Structure formats: C-alpha cells, structure tokens
Amino acid sequence: MTKDEAVSRVCELRNLLDEANKQYYDQAQPVISDRQYDTYMQELMGLEDAYGLHDPASPSRRVGESISEAFTTVEHPRAMLSLANTYNEQELREFDRRVKDLLGSRPFTYFVELKFDGMALRLRYENGVLQLAATRGNGRQGDDITQNVRTLRDIPLKLSTDNWPEIVEVRGEAYMEREAFARFNAQRQENGEAAFANPRNATAGSLKLLDSSLTARRPIRFFCYDLILDQETDSTHLQRMQMLEQWGLRVCSHRWTCQTIEDVLKIIQSLEHTRKDLPYDTDGVVVKVNEDRYREELGYTAKAPKWAIAYKFEAEQATTTIRDITLQVGRLGTITPVAELEPVLLAGTTVKRASLHNQDEITRKDIRIGDRVIIEKAGEIIPQVVQVASPDDPGRSQPYVIPLQCPACQSELVQSPGEVALRCVNPECPPQVRIRIEHFASRDAMDIDGMGEAVIDQLVGANLIHNYADLYKLTVEDLLPLDRMAQKSARNLIHAIQQSKNKPFDRLLFGLGIRFVGSTVARDLADAYSTIDALMQASEDQIADVHGIGVKIAASVRDFMDRPENQRIIEQLRDYGLKLHHEKQEVHSNSLEGCTFVITGTLPSLSRKEAAELIQAHAGSVTGSVSKNTTYVLAGESAGSKLDKAQKLGIKVVSEEDLKSMIS
C-alpha cells in the first residue's frame, strides 16, 4: 500500500468509525456489530502506526460518546478509558506474554469478572454521601446525570458502615436485565413508541432523559467494577471489590482470581455455556492484573490500560429466509410487524418469528419478504433481524410497506404526531377486546375476581361480549354453557361483576385503558374532574394544566374522549350504574385547605398511600410531581429528585411529624 492509499483508507475508516460511534452512543442505534467495529479499529490503528498518520481527533485516540449540551459537563479526575478487546485465545495469550515481559519474574495473579453490556458510570461519594454521578463521555469529560442516578435503587445515596475515606470514586456499569427489558420494550410498543434494539441502548437512553421521574420508572440495575484510590497501594482488585461490598455497593458475585492464563481460559470456556442462564447480558469477561502495585508500571495507551483486556464472546447468529411479514395488534391497537421465518436453530431454540418493531426499522434495514437475513437473539431472548444477507440480490421483492388497514377489523390505521407506530383505534377490534377486558377486570382497575384470561376468551369467542361494558349485561344463564363453569362459579362471577360497580371513579378511569393513563394519573384526573362529563368537556389545555399530567397525556385523554365509539361505551357504563363521578373522601378538618403536597421517600410510620389519605382527610391535595404550585414536599428517608427540585424552587420541606403537627 502506498502512502496516498494509506491516507485514503485512514480517512475512510475514521469517517466510518465516527458514524458508528454516533449511532451507538448518541442515537442508541448501532449500525455495525462489535466485532466489525473492533476489526475496523485495529486496521485504523495499524495504518496510523505504520505510516505515521496519528491525529488527536482520530477515533483511535478518543473514548466513548460525545458530550450532551442538555447536561452539565464535568471533568473526570482520572480518565475513564475503554478496554482493548480480543475475540480469541491466541490474542489473550499474547496479552499474557506482554504482561510477563514487563513484570519479569515477579509473581502476579489475574482477576476475572463478567463484562456487562451497559453504560459506564462514575460515582463520587463525599463523607459517605453520593454527590455526583457522571457518564464516561469522551473519557476525559462526562455528563452530570446525578439527578437521574439518584433514582436507581442499586445505588445507595449514603454508604453503610463508617470506615470509608473522605472521597470515594467508584466506576460501574448500569444495565437492564433481559426479562425486564422485554417487558419494558413491549410496553413502549403498546404506547406507540419505538422499541429499543437491546438492553444497552434502553439503559443509555433512560439515563439521559431530562425528567428523572421517568428514569425512576425504568428497570435499571447497577454493578460496581472498580474503586479508584488516590495513590498506589499493596491491595488487590479483589480486596477493592470487597471494600465496596462492605460499604453497601453492589458488586457482581461472578468473579474469579486466577494464577495463570490457563485458569482464565477454563473460566471463559465454562462461561460460553452458562452465561445464557444469567438474568442479564454479558458480552464477555474482563481480565485484569489483580495486584494494584503493577498498574502504573504496566501503563496505558491513549484509550486503554495495558494491565487489563476484554475477551468478548461471539454473538450467536443464524441465517434464514423471511417467508412473510404479518401484523400483530396490541391491547391499545399498536401494530407490530413480525417476520415469519423459515425455522432455524439459534441459541438452543428453534426460531420461527422475529419482531420488526415498526416501519422505520423495516425501512432502515431494507427488509423485504423473501430475503435471506441474519438473525440473533437480543439479550439471548428476543429474536431480531440484524441485517439482510444479500442486499444487492437483483431478485429481491419490492420494499415492504405496512398496509394502512387493520389486519383484524379493516379499520383505518392512524399514526399520532411524533410517534413511529401505527395503531388501530377501534375499541371493538377483536384482538384488542380480550386484552382490554382483561385490563378492565384487573386488580388495580375494577378487580373482578374470577374474570381470568380463559373465561374472557370463551366470552369473546361465544360473542357474548364485544367490549368491557358488555360484562354488566351477563347473566348466570349466559355463563353456564362455558367450559368449567358450574352454577356456583357462575353465580360468584356475576356477583363479582356487580360488586365492581362500587369501585371508585379513578379505578374506572384506569380501567378504560386510555393510553398513558396509569393508576396514579387516573387518581389525578379524578381529583381534578369530579365527573366523567366534566372530563369529557375539558379542553386539551385544561387537562394538561392538571398537576402530573402534561401535554402528551392530555392529548391522549382528549383523543379517547372524542371518539364516538368510546362515548357510546361510557354511556353503556352509565346505564349499568357504574360510578362516573368522584366521591370525595370525608374531610375531618380544613386545616390543610388550599395546600398541595408532594410525597417522597420512606416515612417513619405512614405509607405514602396512608399519608395521602391523611392529607386529603384534612382538605389538602396530593400530586405526583413538584412544581411552582406545590405548597409542601413531605419527605422521608432516601428522598430523591423531588426533594432536590423542591429545594431548588424554594418549596418548604416538611417531615411526617411536621404534617401531624399541622393537622393537630
């Protein structure tokens, strides 16, 4: 290769890797595999060394993502570097040889731990109290995301015991467990939001949200993997991890101390078979020289320490053919395209279907019926199409576009502004009916005992019910022909249905299945609008002004109430005698009249629900979020971001004891 050819290839590789970094870190949408990324990076570094083409701005000299303007930028006192990667035994043995060459005959051991596929964080504790949480960023600077990290249950706000130094610097990885990620993604698709490609992207996106209350709802976990000490010590990495555990920080129990590289390879071989049994993703192991005193001597490159290396597992993939693309209809009408595959064995199971998420994902990957595609399991659970195997094949079918009619009821599909998903808004669309009724009858809604999935399937299948209002016209005689339905069980179920008429207005609102309206939002709406008629007549702006609601929820409520089919069902519920008005709690005094409270943290003797009922019993009101209209924040132990926001806004913070004094 000539110098000019090397310059051209280096420019090409830098552009390719810059784009890959942008998609991976900033957009949470990886466009190439980790293995391909590392291959390009090794080629770039080799060319830069061979032809003297080093540049401080090159991807080979930089770490991680860009800095976000939405957060305060913080300097890392010690750079948060990346790790050199290897995918085979030979390269791992080469790492061992380099370490031995530098240390000579001095004895050392290896510390081996799982490598988590998440987002690296830096925590800083001062006098045992969490003061800062930051992203890795570019390695030298990161984003201050302290408010979001305070909501993570795995990260203590205060260290336990009292033997910690004045300043404690911790490095760790935030991640999502596979099953929690699957549930979270399913809920996003139900809400018409784009699904995340993998748990790592979901974690990164959640931690960079501008509203910490939303971060708090995401199922994010955390493991520590390093403790940074100000000076060299004679301790080992294992001892550092044990210190973190003593202070109440979470450290992975899957860790090993090895005498030789042969021991390390045995562990890797074992993990290749057992890692699928773990509840979270691990894309490899990290091998570190265990003795701290050798770290500085072994040194660092611009991007990574020389005393550690990551051995990465190959993601198991398979190639198969897309026979067809079908459409699934969710509870709230969300349309999800699914690739119907030629059955193929992958990660121990036969895969026949893979979610394609939405039209944007299909278009981005240019997926078509009849394509040969490469698939893998995201998080070892969810099959996904990685890419088309032969995108330049001249015999491919036409680009796939989701039809604009519901596959089940032929109603026209709609796409709300700012959303990627198409939805069927017909409440009597057959696939939606069963799931909507199941939600309506659930414990947090109308709590109809005995109204399980099997019973609902039979009722819908027999055309006895077409929506949840039809439950209230059922008779014992209607139920008796159903499987496993005797006279007594039929009477009990009818009794449970009739008893549900006494459920309060907010439970009914939640049961209606309005998008984005959970049980808390339903209570807020019931407090603000005492009748269903008042809510149906309220404008979108008026609904958005209710504490804890906002524009997105208000638009969804207004859309639900404006649809004639929903208005008809509400009138049916009225005719059957359900409570479409809010019965105010009995007021014992007016001592808190005009006062709006937000409750946060763990109170000494009251649950949050009990505290809210106590406030309401004395004419006060309770909302879920802090704003300039909040009168008091009732704070208990481990109060989080709501307390911080209250202090910034100058809102008075009271304790449980203060509240009881105010009432008395």
Q: Active-site residue numbers? A: 115
Instruction: State how far the Cα of 355 lies from the Cα of 195, in Å rounded to an integer.
Output: 10
Q: How many CB atoms lie within 10 A of CB 496?
A: 17
Instruction: State how far the Cα of 358 lies from the Cα of 362, in Å rounded to an integer.
Output: 7
Instruction: State how far the Cα of 642 lies from the Cα of 414, in Å rounded to an integer.
Output: 36
Most distant CA pair in the chain: distance in Å?
A: 89
Cα–Cα distances (Å) from 438 to 114, 510, 523, 559, in that order, read 41, 12, 20, 22
- Placement of tokens 């760790």 in the chain: 172
- By the 8 A CB rule, do 191 and 515 touch? yes
List, in sequence order, the alpha helices (H) in 375-518.
430-440, 453-461, 476-479, 487-499, 505-511
Q: Give SS3 for 129.
A: strand
- By the 8 A CB rule, do 216 and 189 touch? no
Instruction: State how far the Cα of 58 lies from the Cα of 63, in Å rounded to an integer.
Output: 10
Dihedral over alpha carbons 396, 399, 401, 407 (to 10 degrees): -10
Dihedral over alpha carbons 387, 388, 391, 397 (to 10 degrees): -140
Instruction: State how far the Cα of 574 lies from the Cα of 394, in Å rounded to an integer.
Output: 60
Sign of torsion over alpha carbons 440, 443, 448, 453: positive
Give the closest residue to 241 by CA, choosing from 284, 275, 286: 286
Please, which residues bridge with residue 423 across strands?
A: 334, 414
Cα–Cα distances (Å) from 347 to 266, 315, 379, in that order, read 21, 9, 11
- Amino acid of residue 660: K
Report how many helices (DSSP H) and strands (DSSP E) the chain contains, helices first. 24, 20
Instruction: State how far the Cα of 483 lies from the Cα of 491, in Å rounded to an integer.
Output: 15
- Placement of tokens 């890795």 in the chain: 136
Give the closest residue to 64 by CA, choosing from 261, 229, 165, 208: 208
Q: How many CB atoms lie within 10 A of CB 453?
A: 12
